[in-house]
Structure 1
Amino acid sequence: MALILHLAFVDQWEAARRAGSYRWSTRGKSLDDGATFIHCSRPEQVALVANSFYTDVTEPLCLLVIDTGCLVSALCDEDLDAVGITFPHIYGPLNLDAVVDVRPYERAADGRWPEVSAQALS
């Protein structure tokens, strides 16, 4: 089972559970607002993303653990910014049954978002 992760606001995840699918691309953008895919990360990329784009966040975050084999929408691994790093992108809504775990994601004592290891997901 190949796993990828998506950083989510807890309230948006809870709303998605009630709605039947998750549609948030990234912070402040959804598929309903014109975004074309849902940004995801491999475990070793989560802290980089969080510490780059979520530094001022005070609301609770969680990590959606996604089994790529259960996705209904297309998955592509892409380097859209031409920085030499590819990220997994889900082109369409995230079906809830592909989310095999939801984990709280909290800042470390130093105020930074922590690293996530692939072993911690097993």
Structure 2
Amino acid sequence: MIYHLAELPHWEQAQRDGTYRRSTIGRSLDDEGFVHAASAEQWPGVRARFYAAVTEPLVLLHVDESRLTSPLVLEVGNPETGERFPHVYGPIDLSAVVGTTLLDPPHA
């Protein structure tokens, strides 16, 4: 299982479109080239580091990587630590999202 932090309006749009195409806060899949994701251990730190200023609820997407039709690649996200993060090189099909958790602010 991998996880992605989504802004609620983008998740709602994905439900209308049939695929999720946001990479990270303020960036689309087209902008970034992939969708940022995290492991169960990583997503709380990502939330605190990158989403602390978000004042709206977030949706944690629970993504079953075996259901992805887009390639999943583990890549170094922080060269200083060598920590690797899952990156999805294409849209996330809604059928791969097997659960969601609403996360109320604060996100730090």
Matched, 1:71 2:68: yes
Per the TM alignment, residue 84 of structure 1 is displaced from its structure 2 partner at its CA by 1.6
- Select the structure that is richer in strand: 2
Per the TM alignment, residue 65 of structure 1 is displaced from its structure 2 partner at its CA by 0.2
SS, match of residue 97 in structure 1: helix
Please list, as runs of the form range in 1=range in 2, the aligned pairs for 1:42-81 lying within 5 A after superposition: 42-81=39-78
Find the aligned partners of 2:101 and 2:107 in 1 and give their Cα distance.
17
Unmatched segments (≥5 aa) in structure 1: 114-122
Scaled by the length of structure 2, the TM-score of the pair is 0.92
Question: 1:35-89 CA distances to partner (integer Å, 9 max, x unpaired)?
Answer: 1100000011111111111111101101000000000000001104313210000
Structure 1 counterpart of 2:50, one-letter code: F
Structure 2 counterpart of 1:81, one-letter code: N
Find the aligned partners of 1:96 and 1:26 in 2 and give their Cα distance.
17
**Residue-pair matches, total:** 107
Scaled by the length of structure 1, the TM-score of the pair is 0.82
Identity score, percent: 44
Runs of 4+ displaced beyond 3 Å = none
Per the TM alignment, residue 106 of structure 1 is displaced from its structure 2 partner at its CA by 2.7
Please list, as runs of the form range in 1=range in 2, the aligned pairs for 1:18-57 lying within 5 A after superposition: 18-32=16-30, 34-57=31-54
Given that 2:70 and 2:88 are in contact with CA atoms closer than 8 Å, whether structure 1 keeps it comes out as yes
> C-alpha root-mean-square deviation of aligned residues, in Å?
1.3
Structure 2 counterpart of 1:71, one-letter code: L
Between structure 1 and structure 2, the one with the greater Rg is 1
